[in-house]
Amino acid sequence: VNQQRERHTLQTVAEPQDLSELLHLRSTLGPNTMLLAGGTDLGVQMRRHLVHPRHLVSLTRVAELHRLELLRSEVVIGAAVTHRTIEDSPLFRGPLLALREACATVGSVQTRNVGTIVGNLCNASPAADTPPVLLAMGARVTLLGPLGTRTLPLSEFFVEYRKTALADDEVMTAVQVPVSGSPTGSAFVKLGRRLAMEISIACVGASISLGADGAITDIGIGLGSVAPISMRATDAEDELRGTRPTVETLQRAADAASAAARPVDDHRASASYRRAMVNVLTKRALNRALNRATDALGVSHE
């Protein structure tokens, strides 16, 4: 019984000041060490005895992880950047608007004040709100470990249900979101049993870039809550890439997205309802993203 109790005891909450101290603590505190960002997932999991960390290493005092900046062709979002910061940032009012829309639906203001985008990714829930948008935008993630950093497409980060490409000794330091030079629009739509404080029955993120002739030069579609992982609907994207979109091609893309989904029955909805909703939500997200891209194309021609 004592051993059992000890296994459940949290011994240390470390607050490193920089990345090298963070990595050092991560590797020296030993097994049962977990990273703590906002704690909105981890705190709940600890209270429910789903995880039993002996040591927590907090990210919040590492200044570098708070970076949020536009470099030449990408926005870099550090691991300590919260949903609320994204909502308030002017960087997410143009082509990257969908990320703001997704962040704005996460829990309550209190959840968003401390919860981070990177925590949303690393928790790897297939029902999370920001991954479909970040997948649609072609985001990449940077992982730092004792041997250095590696960057991989977010689509390769989610491996299987709640399993990611993150190694035990690694930390995700940032997510990079490309900003297209072409007129671009994005959108996020979420269907839930109610509007706030509820994970989705299905959600879709879309991003569309247009050439001067109105043809789609780049497209991304991400799906949430309808497969074991947040997934990119590549067949649906292929229906539209290089074309001037019509009602028929948008419908074909929506059909391809629902065909690619692998939903399950649960207490929120049946698999068949989810599949039908992927169709509806994909069309809705694509139409919104397309309208926004078309507006941006109009502005770029003025």
Ligand X SMILES: Cc1cc2nc3c(=O)[nH]c(=O)nc-3n(C[C@H](O)[C@H](O)[C@H](O)COP(=O)(O)OP(=O)(O)OC[C@H]3O[C@@H](n4cnc5c(N)ncnc54)[C@H](O)[C@@H]3O)c2cc1C
Interacting residue ranges for ligand X, rule: CB under 6 A? 34-42, 44, 59, 79, 105-107, 111, 115-116, 118-120, 122-123, 128-129, 166, 171-172, 197, 199
258, burial (CB in 10 Å: exposed 0-12, middle 13-18, buried 19+): buried
CB of residue 157 to ligand X, shortest distance in Å: 11
CB of residue 173 to ligand X, shortest distance in Å: 7
Sheet holding 140-145, edge to edge: 68-70, 74-78, 171-178, 140-145, 148-153
Nearest residue to the partner ligand X, using Cβ: 119
Q: How far apart are CA 17 and CA 10, in angstroms?
A: 21
Closest to ligand X by CB, 34 vs 280, is 34
Closest to ligand X by CB, 44 vs 264, is 44
CB of residue 124 to ligand X, shortest distance in Å: 8
Closest to ligand X by CB, 132 vs 183, is 132
How many C-beta atoms lie closer than 10 Å to residue 198's C-beta? Answer: 14
Q: Are 170 and 275 in contact (CB under 8 A)?
A: no
CB of residue 98 to ligand X, shortest distance in Å: 14
CB of residue 45 to ligand X, shortest distance in Å: 7
CB of residue 299 to ligand X, shortest distance in Å: 32
Q: Are 132 and 188 in contact (CB under 8 A)?
A: yes
Closest to ligand X by CB, 196 vs 215, is 196
CB of residue 43 to ligand X, shortest distance in Å: 6
Closest to ligand X by CB, 175 vs 296, is 175
Closest to ligand X by CB, 216 vs 227, is 227
Closest to ligand X by CB, 104 vs 179, is 104
